[in-house]
Amino acid sequence: MYQPKNIYISIFAWFAVVLLAGCQPAQSTEPAPGAPTAPVSASPQELRVMTHDSFAVSEEVVAAFESEYNAQVQFIKGGDTGVALNKLILSKDHPLADVFYGVDNTYLSRALDEGIFEPYASPLLAEIPAEFQLDPAQGALPVDYGDVCVNYDKAYFSERNLEPPQNLDDFLDPQYRGLLVVENPATSSPGLAFLLATIGRYGEDGYLDYWRSLVANDVLVVNDWETAYNTEFSYWGGTRPLVVSYSSSPSFELIFAEQPLDEPPTASVVGPQSCFRQIEFVGILKGTEKRQLAEAWVDFMLSPVFQEDMPLQMAVFPVNQQAKLDEAFAKFLQNPEQPATIDPALIASQREQWIQTWTEAVLR
Amino acid sequence: MSQPATRSVASNRGRLGWLLWLPPLIFLALFYFYPLGNILGLSFARQEGGWTVAFAQALASPSVLHILGFTLWQALLSTLLTLLLGLPGAYLMARYHFPGKAIIQALTGLPFVMPTLVVAAAFNALLGARGWVNAALMGIFDLSQPPLQFTNTLTAILVAHVFYNTTIVLRMVGDFWSHLDPRLEQAAQSLGANRWQTLRHITLPLLLPAIAAAALLVFIFDFTSFGVVLILGGPRYATLEVEIYYQTVSLFNLPLAAVLSLLQLACTLGLTVIYTRLSARLSRPLALKPRQITQRRLVGWRARLMAGGFLIFLLAFMTLPLLGLAGRSFYGLDSGRERSGEVQTGPTLAYYRALNESRRSALFYAPPASSIAISLGYAAATVILAVGLGLPAALALSSQRESRLSRLLDPLFMLPLGTSAVTLGLGFIVALDQPPLDLRASPLLIPLAHALVAFPFVVRSLAPSLGSISPRLRQAATVLGASPRQVLRHIDLPLVGRALLVAATFAFTISLGEFGATALVSRPEYPTIPAAIYRLISQPGALNYGQALALSTILMVVSAAGMLLIERLRIADVGEF
C-alpha cells in the first residue's frame, strides 16, 4: 500500500531524538560545581566569540569566566583563519560576533587594513613582552605563539647512523636528498610560516635561490599539513623523515601516544633562524554592543588561567610571562634558538607577492 | 513530442502546476539567488572600474584559461571512467537477483559520505609509497624504490573521483534500468538482433535519459571538485573551485574570485541547457514494470563467473580502501615504535574507548553518540527539505515539459550544484544578516545549505521516471473521474516510489558527508561526525589519529545503516499498488 506518512513519521522521530540530544552539550556550559556562584539577579548576558576551527578550551576555564561575569559565551567557528577573517570583514556592518580570536601575524595586516577591531589597551599587556605586540594601535592583542619548525623522525636517523640536520642550510646537503616534505604556502598556514622562515634567513634576494636548491635536492610539496604529516612523514607510514610542523608536535606525540612513551619519538630542527614564530591575536570587533563584557573576555584570555590552559588544548604557548607551562611540555619542549623574524609591515606589503613568486619558482 | 494528449492533462493540472513551482522557487530565491547576487555584487564593488574590468583582466590571464581547461578536462575524463565502471554495475544490479544486493548497494554508497581527508588517508594506505600495493610490488620484483607514485598525480584525482561518484551511476541508472520492460529486448532478439544490436538500438536509447542525468551530476561534481584536487592532486593541479578558494582566502582577491565563480556557473548552466534540450528529445513514455518482472537469476557458470568477477572488482575498489582504514582503527598505530621493536602492537579497542572519554575536559568535546545524533538530525532535516522541495519541482517539470517556464527553470534548478561553496558561504554571511533572516550563525543554516546541494539531485533522480510515465495512464485516470490530486497520489507517486528512495538516499548521504560545510559558520556545541573527525585528524599524536579513524569507521556504519533503512522504507514500489 502507498503510505506516504510512514517515511515522514520516521524522519520526524529521528529529528526529535536529535534535537533532544543536540541540547545536551549546551548544558555543559553551566557553571562547574566548584565555581563561585554569581549573583543570580539578571539572566546571563550573551557574548559571541568568533574563532578559527582549531580553537579549543577546557570546560571549567570558560565556566569560571561565565560565573564571574554572569555571562554566557557563545562560540562561533568561522573556518580556517583566512576564511573566518574574510567572513568578519564582509560582515563589518552587522558584526557576526563581539570578539574575534585567531588572526595570526601572517594575516594580521588584512585584519588591520580592513579595520575590523576596536582598540583596547588591556592592563594585562604589561605582562606581555613587547616583541609580541605587533599592533601599535592595540586593536589586535597577542594571546599565544607557536613555532613552525621542521620535525624529524628520530628512529629513521638513528637506524641509519645519520646525523639529523641542524638548520635550514643542512636541507640542501645531498645526504638529506629526498627526505623533506613541506606544505604549500598558498594553501597551508605552516607552509606559509616555513616560507617566511626561509625569507627571514636568506632575505628577499636569497630565498628563491634557496628554494630552487631545495627542489634540486628533491623536496616534496603537498597542499596541507594533514597529508604532509599523516601520510608522507615516515613516522606515520610515509617515506620522508623530515616534515614541516610545529615545535609542539613532538610533545603531542608523547602526550597522545597510544601507549606511554619515555620521550618524544620525533624532534624539531631548532638551529638559529630555522623556525618561524606564529603569533595569534584577539580583538574586540567594531560595532559590538557588549564592549564591557568583550573587554573582560579579552583580559581573561590574556590572564594566566586561560593562558595555562592553551598548550594542552591547542598546542600553542602563552605570551603572558606569568603563565606557567604545563609539565608535560616543559620537560621536552625545544625552544628555537632564534626564530626567523620579519618586520610585520614587510609581511603586510609583500605577502601575496612572495607566495606568487614562490609558486612560479617552485611549482611551475 | 507535443502530443495533444499531454497538453490536455497539463492544462487539467494548470492550477496545481502553479502551486508546485512555488516552494522550490521561493526557497531558491531566498537561500540561493539572493545570497549569491549579494556576494557577487559586493565583490565586484571592490574592483576599480567594476565587473567589466574584473572580467577583462581575468579572461586575458593565461593561467585562468589554463585552469578552466584543466577543470573541464579532468571532469570529462573522470566522468567517462565513472560511466565505464558504473554502467556494467548498474546492469547487474538492475537485471539480476543475487544475494547481498542491498548490502552491495549500500557499501558502494559509502565513499559518498566520507570526508576527503579520510579518503586520502585510505588511498595512501593502499597505494601510497608504503601502501600495500607498493609493498607487494617491491616484494615480488625485488625493488628498492616504490614503483607506483600516487600522491600529487592526475591518476590520484581520477581514481578518487571514480571512487566517490560511481554510486551515482549505480543508483540512478540502475534504478531506471530495473523498471525497463525486458520484453522489448526479447522482442528485438527474437526478430534476429544480436546482443550488441539489441544493446545499441533498444537498451541504450531507452536508458539514455537516466544515463544523461547521472553523467550530468557526476560531471558537475567532478567539475567543481575541491577536496580531492587539493589533497590528492597536490599543488600542481587546480580546478576553478580550488582557485576560487585560493583567490578568496589566501589572496583576498574577491573580484577575481567572483569572475571565476561566474565562469564555473556559466559552464554548469551551459551544460545543463544542453542536457535539458537533449533529454526533452530523449525521454519517451514507457510502461515501467515492477522489478519482480524485470529481474532474473544468473544462469550458467559463465554468466555467474563474469558477473561475480566484475562485482568483486567493483566491491574491492569501492570498499577495500575504507575497510583498510576500519581495520587500522582496531589496530595499534605507533608505527615508528613498532619498527624499533619497543612495543608490540596488536588488536585494540583503545581508540574507541578514547572517543568516549574527554581526556582534557574540552568544552567542545562530544561523545560519539551525540555527534551521530546531530549528524543524523541534520541529515533527516535535509531529506525532508530536499524531497519536499524537489518532488514538486520534478512534478511540475514533467507535467509541463513543453511550457516556456519549464524550459527556463529546468537548467536553473541545477545551478546550486555548480556553485562555489566558498562564494556561497560568504554570500550567506553578507545576505542573511538581519532579522528575520539572520541565519548566519544559526544551526538551521546547515540543513538549508545541504538541501541546496541535495535539491538538484532529487530533481534529477525523479525526472527520468516521471518523464517516462505514459500520459495515457494519467488520461485514463482523469477520464475515470480522478482529480489532479488523485492522479498525483495514485499514478505518479507510486510509479516513482523507487526513484523517490534514490533521491532520499542522495539527500541523506550529501548531508552526512557535509558537502561545502567548510564554507559555513559552525556552532561548536553541535559537532557533526565529520567535524569531529577533522578536529582529531589535524592534531599530531597516535591517539588523535586513531580516534579519527575510529570515528570514520563509525560514520561508515551509521551511513550504511541509514542507507539500508531508507532502502527498506519502500514508500510504494511498483507492483505493490
Tell me the pLDDT tens digit for each residue of B334-391: 544 444 444 445 677 888 888 887 666 778 888 888 889 999 999 999 999 999 999 9
**Cβ contacts of residue B154 below 8 Å, gap of 6+?**
B74, B233, B237
Please indicate if any CB of chain A lies within 8 Å of the CB of B381.
Answer: yes
B391-412: pLDDT as tens digits:
999 988 887 777 788 888 888 8
Q: Testing the interface with A: which of B429, B501, B533, B534 to mutate, by most A Cβ within 10 A?
A: B429
Residues 6+ apart with CB under 8 A from B342: none
Among chain A residues, CA nearest to B440: A96
Contact B250 A82 (CB under 8 A): yes
CATH code at A39-145+278-329: 3.40.190.10
> Shortest Cα distance from B147 to chain A (angstroms)?
13
Q: What pLDDT is stored for residue B517 in this prediction?
A: 58
Domains held by chain B: number: 1
Residue for cell digits 626564530? A339
To the nearest whole Å, the CA of A218 is away from the closest chain B CA by 14
Q: Measure in Å the smallest separation between the Cα of B388 and chain A Cα atoms.
A: 10
What ipTM does the predicted assembly reach? Answer: 0.83
Closest CA to A303 of A283, A277, A322, A325: A322
- Chain B: give the shortest CA distance to residue A341, in Å: 21
* Nearest residue, CB atoms, B540 vs list A17, A61, A249: A249
C-alpha cell at B85: 565502471
Asked if residue B17 has pLDDT above 70, the reply is no
Q: Positive or negative, the Cα torsion across A342, A348, A354, A355? A: positive
| pLDDT of B360 | 63
pLDDT of residue A17: 47
Cα dihedral A230, A231, A236, A242, rounded to 10, equals -90
The pLDDT-based confidence of B570 (bands split at 50, 70, 90) is: low
Contact B525 A15 (CB under 8 A): no
Put simply, the answer to whether A60 touches B250 (Cβ < 8 Å) is no
pLDDT value at residue A175: 95
- H or E stretch covering A141: strand A141-153
> Average pLDDT of B560-566?
85
List all residues of chain A from 244 to 303 with a beta carbon under 8 Å from chain B. Answer: 245-246, 249, 252-253, 255-259, 261, 265-266
Query: Using 50, 70 and 90 to split pLDDT, how confident is the model at B332?
Result: low
* B290 in reach of chain A (CB within 8 A): no
Decide if B363 touches A, using CB distance below 8 A. yes
Of A2, A24, A249, the CB nearest to B494: A2
Task: Check if A54 contacts B (Cβ < 8 Å).
Answer: yes
Contact A242, A179 (CB under 8 A): yes
Q: Do domains A39-145+278-329 and A147-277+331-363 have the same CATH topology?
A: yes
CA distance A274 to chain B (A): 21
A49 pLDDT more than 60: yes
| Ramachandran assignment for A148, one of left (phi > 0), alpha (psi -120 to 50 degrees), beta (any other) | beta
CATH number at residue B398: 1.10.3720.10
Distance of alpha carbon B71 from alpha carbon B78, whole angstroms: 11
pLDDT band at A132 (very low <50, low <70, confident <90, very high): very high
Chain A hits for B519, Cβ within 8 Å:
79, 83
Closest A-chain CA to B342:
A261
B392 vs A: CB within 8 A: no
B524 contacts in chain A (CB < 8 Å)? 55, 75-77
Ranked by mean pLDDT, which of A47-56, A102-111, B71-80, B507-516 comes out on top?
Answer: B71-80
A224/B230 touch (CB, cutoff 8 Å), yes or no? yes
Residues 6+ apart with CB under 8 A from B222: B74, B75, B78, B79, B82, B161, B165
* Statement: residue B213 has pLDDT above 70: yes
pLDDT at A309: 93
Whole-angstrom Cα distance, residue B346 to residue B553?
A: 18
Cα of B149 to nearest chain A Cα, Å: 12
Shortest distance between the Cα of A296 and any Cα of chain B, in A, equals 20
Contact A58 B363 (CB under 8 A): yes
pLDDT beyond 70 at A122: yes
Q: Say if the Cβ atoms of B151 and A78 lie within 8 Å.
A: no
Q: What is the pLDDT of residue B349?
A: 84
Residue A261: list chain B partners with CB under 8 A. Answer: 337
- Sketch the domain layout of chain A as residue ranges: 39-145+278-329, 147-277+331-363
Give B 232-261 residues with CB within 8 A of chain A: 234-236, 245-246, 248-252
Model confidence band, residue B100 (pLDDT cutoffs 50, 70, 90)? confident
B42 touches chain A (CB under 8 A): yes
Q: Under an 8 A CB cutoff, do A79 and B493 touch?
A: no
Please give the mean pLDDT across all residues of chain B: 83
d(CA B395, CA B390): 8
Higher pLDDT, B14 or A235: A235
Contact state of A94 with B441 under an 8 Å Cβ cutoff: no
Read off φ and ψ for residue B496, nearest 5 degrees: -105, 15
Q: Would an 8 Å CB–CB cutoff place B38 in contact with chain A?
A: no
B4 pLDDT higher than 80: no
CA trace torsion B235, B241, B244, B245 (10° rounding):
-60
Q: Mean of the pLDDT values across residues A11-15?
A: 47
Q: What mean pLDDT value characterizes chain A?
A: 87
Indicate the SS3 state at residue A279: strand
| Cα angle value B573/B575/B577 (rounded, 5°) | 85
Mutation for B interface: A259, A301, A314, most B CBs within 10 A? A259
CA dist B413 and B423 (Å) reads 18
Would you call B383 an interface residue with chain A, using a CB distance cutoff of 8 Å? yes
Alpha helix (H) ranges present in chain A? Answer: 4-27, 59-69, 81-90, 108-113, 154-159, 189-216, 225-226, 249-255, 291-302, 304-314, 327-330, 344-358
Chain A nearest C-alpha distance from B209 (Å) = 26
Q: Which of A14, A62, A261 sits opposite B363 (nearest CB)?
A: A62
Average pLDDT, stretch B216-229?
A: 92
What values do phi and psi take at B571, rounded to 5? -55, -55
**Stretch B173-178: mean pLDDT:** 86
d(CA B166, CA B93): 13
To the question of domain A147-277+331-363 being in CATH 1.10.150.130, the answer is no
Distance from C-alpha of A95 to C-alpha of A91, rounded to nearest angstrom: 5
Whether B424 is covered by a domain: the verdict is yes
Report yes or no: A268 and A151 within 8 Å, Cβ to Cβ: yes
* CA dihedral sign of residues B86, B91, B93, B94: positive
Phi, psi values for residue B532, rounded to 5°? -65, -35
What's the confidence (pLDDT) of residue A149? 96
Give me the domain span that covers residue B232: 4-48+65-329+350-569
Amino acid at B255: P
Compute CA distances A267 → A155, A263, A294, A336, whole Å.
10, 10, 39, 12
B364 in A contact zone (CB under 8 Å): yes
A221 in contact with chain B, both atoms CB, cutoff 8 A: yes
Q: Residue B241 corresponds to which cell in the numbers above?
A: 573551485
Over range A96-113, report the average pLDDT.
Answer: 92
Q: Nearest 10 degrees: CA dihedral of B109, B110, B112, B115? A: 180
Contact B374 A76 (CB under 8 A): no
Answer yes or no: are the C-beta atoms of A119 and A139 closer than 8 Å: yes
- Whether B550 and chain A come into contact, CB under 8 Å, resolves to no
